[in-house]
A and B are shown apart, each in its own frame.
Chain A
Amino acid sequence: DSGVTQTPKHLITATGQRVTLRCSPRSGDLSVYWYQQSLDQGLQFLIQYYNGEERAKGNILERFSAQQFPDLHSELNLSSLELGDSALYFCASSVGVSPKNIQYFGAGTRLSVL
């Protein structure tokens, strides 16, 4: 168990809908990262938050947004969903601001867009 909790484990929704994925980092970790894992794109970095502030952005679509709350949990919001958004979404956390700190991954949320 990595100590990172993601909910829900599975999510099935329809195109055009909006969903929210939730992540609770390991106790004491201030950084939260979001990744998307799909069959054709592999594991792709989306965005990083550190202590409530956006720190780095990767290949995150404009339809996607995230935030980190004062209690350090994070949410990833996906809107106007398309079939191609079906993927595993992972959250990771680390103690410091640098991504070179070991990132501990949650078990992921499997999103299916029908």
Chain B
Amino acid sequence: GESVGLHLPTLSVQEGDNSIINCAYSNSASDYFIWYKQESGKGPQFIIDIRSNMDKRQGQRVTVLLNKTVKHLSLQIAATQPGDSAVYFCADINFGNEKLTFGTGTRLTIIP
């Protein structure tokens, strides 16, 4: 079964506010995590990744936080824009099992 799951299937955020998308994983052997964005009618698009030896990584308007103690991953999007509307997937790779396993996804809707 999946080792990665999401807390909420949908999230609605006011334009300009910050968004936080959460993800839980179950396998302690997971050593690499990645967030993908999928817009309607398109394939997943890489957003940001983080390795298990890090707690935080920042990109352009996005930050990923990793809490290995509680096996929790989050994606923060600053100043959410209409173009951020999409389904967001977290995924992980377990050490020794070199396959990307995706979570079920969270649909982010931006309210104008």
Name A residues whose Cβ lies closer than 8 Å to a Cβ of B: 2, 4, 33, 42-45, 48, 56, 58, 90, 92, 98-100, 102-108
Contacts and interface: CB of A to CB of B under 8 A. Distances in A.
Contacts of A92: 43-44
A43 B89 contact: yes
Given A56-B98, A108-B43, 6 more contacts: A45-B101, A48-B99, A90-B43, A99-B93, A100-B32, A106-B43
B112 interface: no
Interface string B78-112: 00000000000101010000111111110000000
Given A42-B105, A45-B99, A56-B99, A102 B49 contact: yes
Contacts of B55: none
A99 B102 contact: no
Chain B at the A interface: SS class? strand
Interface residues on B, range: 20 to 34
A108 B101 CA distance: 18
20 contacts: A4-B43, A42-B103, A43-B91, A43-B102, A45-B99, A48-B99, A56-B98, A99-B98, A99-B100, A100-B32, A100-B49, A102-B49, A103-B46, A103-B100, A104-B46, A105-B36, A105-B45, A107-B41, A107-B42, A107-B43
Contacts of B93: 99-100
A52 to B, nearest CB: 18
B99 A99 contact: yes
A100 B100 CA distance: 8
A103 B49 CA distance: 11
B99 A105 contact: no
A102 B46 contact: yes
B13 to A, nearest CB: 23
Contacts of A108: 42-43
A92 B45 CA distance: 10
